[in-house]
Amino acid sequence: MKITFCCTGTEPAPWLAGLRAALPQAQVELWQPGTTPADYAVVWAPPQQFFDEQPKLKGIFNIGAGVDALLRLRLPPQAAVVRLEDAGMAVQMAEYVSQAVIRNFRDLETYAADARAGHWTYYKPRQRNEFSVGVMGLGVLGARVAQALTHFEFPVNGWSRSSKALGGVRHFVGAAQFHDFLANSRVLVNLLPLTPETVNILNRDTLSRLQPGGYVINVARGAHLVDEDLLELIKSCHLSGATLDVFRTEPLRPEHPFWREPKITLTPHTSARTLRADSIAQIADKIAALGRGEKIAGIVDAARGY
């Protein structure tokens, strides 16, 4: 069995060593143009040439949660595309979103600005039961985020394409209930996969349906958000601000107006990073299961895009 590794922008040596230790029976190599075809591939942002030279792949393991960029390439038709289901990312995402929600709920950004200016100021506490949080997308990461927020006793709404059952979460399903979901949410957390149907889903129409003083947290993909619409709704005070971790162009361009909007908190796509040891263990287990003819979780439905 041969495994080839092609992850753009990733130091390959630790991954190769980890995969070899986890799968000692396999031949694990770093892809170079012209190398012999492999059985399985571990990838992140590979070039089209990689797949053109790998026509016999049985499985393609993507080391990030999102597969939208991968699915835009021409892939071997017989190869299963497998996404990481967690690999340590779910708890990181729950941490990140929870702190963003709490920071807004407790006015901590305003207190920090007052402290920098030398002002000792008190603000009236908000009512928790009036601070509902809506989570768009209830996959592995979204479900973990929604359940984490229930521990802080926020009213939590969840919206997804199909029905889910999460304790303490009020669930809205499909297009028919999307507007009700938005109207019942003050904070909107986006964890949707990026598909043709979800591009630009965070726009003037949808964000205007949030409760007045709403807040947006985007930790999915930059192409979900119409940047100009968010800025206009913040300037009109319908939205109180946003925390953004993902952008249409990364790194975010120096001239982008997000940098100059004090009500927007920016982070450099770091809300949940792939943990190498967890990822290698998951990939090794799934390759072993495929070798035994067993079904595995995490196989991407190319028609749906996730």
Two tokens, residue 139: 């996959």
Q: Is 269 annotated in the active site?
A: yes
DSSP assigned state of 129: G
Q: Of the listed 103, 221, 238, 304, which one is catalytic? A: 221
With beta carbons less than 8 A apart as the criterion, state whether 12 and 280 touch.
no
Give the 3-state secondary structure percentages of the chain, helix then strand then coil, rounded to 5.
Answer: 35, 20, 45
Q: Of the listed 20, 171, 209, 269, which one is catalytic? A: 269
Q: For the sheet with 2-7, list strands across it.
A: 27-30, 2-7, 40-44, 59-62, 80-83
In whole angstroms, what is the distance from residue 52 CA to residue 297 CA?
26
Q: Is 151 annotated in the active site?
A: no
In whole angstroms, what is the distance from residue 67 CA to residue 284 CA?
19
Q: What's the gap between Cα 253 and its chain centre?
A: 21
- Residues catalogued as catalytic: 221, 269
